């Protein structure tokens, strides 16, 4: 078996408590590996710590404890220039394709930026690389002179993906990359991410609350609740034979496009649990 590309061990992230209270452990002892060319799906409810985990892996959140190894090097011990040099190996695709592209920059300028920052192509060859990147995400290279507002949501997300892939990263964290898109566009972007993985061998940490989407992209899946991973395994095993009751609860809550099944599912949410779960889910305590 190939050595893992990403090795996360006992990762912990703490945020200061509200109103001088004790610190909140947003990520509390998380460990996982991602192999080259593999997708690990990270699922959980909002507030479970999945986004913070993704950011901490990329060293965009201060790590309180634990280690994150990428290509064998511990990122948590790196600072300044060393860490900046590692950034070309790890990239980020965010949820909102409307706010993650600079509105006054053309697509060419947007895609040129990482090439210049990381000096990955010789001076003068940037435009050719930009064209190549647009073709990679199935956009017409002739569109490089346009501005983000001239594109649809799905096209913008393709540009965001092209920007992430510009510097040949080995690893991309995708945080809810399709949740702002229509179903048909979602399916196209998910298909694109899978094709790019096959073509480029890139690994993904795919963070999403939609378990059905994650099933389409992930080889392995981790389920997160309250800052901890409660179950991790091969996708087929986690979905078909979940070991943890929380995983089962998440799976039962997925709205499936089958009227008879969905009616039965909604009927099974008992009213008292409904209220209690709501009270536990983010309500003020004390």
Binding residues among 35-74 for another protein as defined by CB under 8 A = 35, 37-39, 45-47
Closest by CA position to 208, among listed 195, 182, 190, 192: 190
Residues 6 or more apart whose Cβ sits within 8 Å of residue 136: 162, 165, 196, 199
Residues 6+ apart with CB under 8 A from 72: 3
* Nearest-approach distance from CB 124 to another protein, in angstroms: 37
Closest distance to another protein from the beta carbon of 171 (Å): 13
Binding status of residue 279 toward another protein by CB under 8 A: yes
Q: 193: which 2 tokens?
A: 């991410």
Q: Judged by CB, which is closer to another protein: 90, or 110?
A: 90
Cβ-based nearer residue to another protein, 128 or 183:
183
Interatomic CA distance for residues 185 and 191, integer angstroms: 10
Of the candidates 82, 183, 241, 243, which one interacts with another protein according to CB under 8 A? 183
Nearest distance from residue 278's CB to another protein, in Å?
6
Q: Given the complex with another protein, which of 153 and 226 has the nearer CB atom?
A: 153
Q: Could you say whether residue 284 binds another protein (CB under 8 A)?
A: yes
* 201 within 8 A of 129, measured Cβ to Cβ: no
Told to check if 3 binds another protein by CB under 8 A, we report no
150 contributes a contact to another protein by CB under 8 A: no
> Under 8 Å CB-to-CB from 252, ≥6 apart: which residues?
265, 268
Task: Report how many residues bind another protein under the rule CB under 8 A.
Answer: 60
Measured distance CA(39)–CA(221) in Å, rounded: 8
Q: How far is CA 150 from CA 104, 105, 145, 253, 267, in A?
A: 12, 12, 10, 37, 44
Which residues are paired to 65 by β-bridges?
12
Residues 218-237 that bind another protein (CB under 8 A): 218-220, 234-236
CB-nearer residue toward another protein: 105 or 187: 187
Which residues lie near another protein (CB under 8 A)?
Answer: 35, 37-39, 45-47, 153, 182-184, 186-187, 190, 209-213, 215-220, 234-236, 239-240, 249-266, 269, 271, 274-279, 281-284
């Amino acid at each position: 078996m190939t050595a893992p590309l990403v090795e996360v061990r006992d990762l912990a992230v703490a945020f200061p408590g509200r109103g001088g209270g004790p610190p909140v452990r947003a990520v509390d002892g998380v460990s996982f590996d991602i192999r080259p060319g593999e997708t690990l799906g990270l699922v959980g409810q909002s507030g479970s710590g999945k986004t913070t985990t993704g950011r901490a892996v990329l060293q965009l959140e201060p790590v309180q404890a634990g280690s994150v190894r990428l290509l064998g090097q511990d990122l948590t011990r790196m600072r300044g220039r060393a860490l900046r040099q590692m950034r070309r190996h790890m990239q980020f695709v965010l949820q909102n394709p409307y706010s993650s592209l600079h509105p006054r920059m053309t697509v060419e300028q947007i895609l040129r930026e990482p090439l210049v920052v990381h000096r990955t192509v010789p001076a003068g060859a940037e435009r050719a690389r930009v064209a190549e990147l647009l073709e990679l995400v199935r956009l017409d290279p002739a569109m490089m002179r346009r501005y983000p507002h001239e594109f649809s949501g799905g096209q913008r997300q393709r540009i965001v993906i092209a920007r992430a892939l510009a510097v040949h990263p080995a690893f991309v964290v995708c945080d809810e990359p399709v949740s702002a898109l229509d179903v048909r566009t979602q399916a196209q972007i998910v298909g694109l991410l899978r094709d790019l993985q096959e073509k480029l061998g890139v690994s993904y940490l795919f963070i999403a609350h939609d378990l059905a989407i994650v099933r389409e992209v992930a080889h392995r899946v981790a389920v997160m609740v309250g800052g901890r991973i409660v179950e991790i395994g091969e996708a087929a095993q986690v979905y078909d034979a979940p070991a943890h009751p929380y995983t089962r609860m998440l799976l039962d809550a997925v709205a499936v496009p089958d009227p008879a099944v969905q009616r039965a599912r909604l009927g099974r949410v008992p009213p008292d649990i409904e209220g209690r779960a709501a009270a536990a889910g983010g309500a003020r305590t004390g």
